[in-house]
């Protein structure tokens, strides 16, 4: 079997995790408004858009790790 290029291996994880993070952040931000919440000083200095951005990238990282683990567990004998 021909090995899959590294670009496609990354995109196999990053693209679905991007969509998942977008869906999760839509749900989270429909329930949580950083403009009205009491935030720590470090997050308060970022502003509302900074908090949105930071949380989206954190959610993307968490969902990407879940996708990566799922991919690795789905093909145990691949290596």
Domain positions in the chain are: 6-74
Average pLDDT over residues 36-62: 88
* DSSP 8-state assignment for residue 37: S
- pLDDT class of 71 with cuts at 50, 70, 90: confident
**Residue 44 burial class via C-beta count within 10 angstroms: exposed 0-12, middle 13-18, buried 19 and up:** middle
Average pLDDT over residues 43-49: 83
pTM > 0.95: no
3-state secondary structure the chain: CCCCCHHHHHHHHHHHHHHHHHHHHHHHHHHCCCCCCCCCHHHHCCHHHHHHHHHHHHHHHHHHHHHHHHHHHHCCCCC
């Amino acid at each position: 079997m021909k090995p899959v290029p590294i670009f496609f291996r990354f995109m196999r994880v990053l693209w679905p995790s991007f969509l998942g993070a977008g869906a999760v952040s839509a749900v989270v931000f429909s329930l949580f408004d950083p403009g009205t919440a009491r935030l720590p000083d470090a997050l308060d200095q970022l502003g509302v858009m900074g908090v949105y951005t930071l949380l989206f990238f954190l959610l993307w990282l968490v969902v990407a790790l879940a996708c990566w683990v799922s991919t690795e567990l789905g093909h145990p004998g691949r290596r």
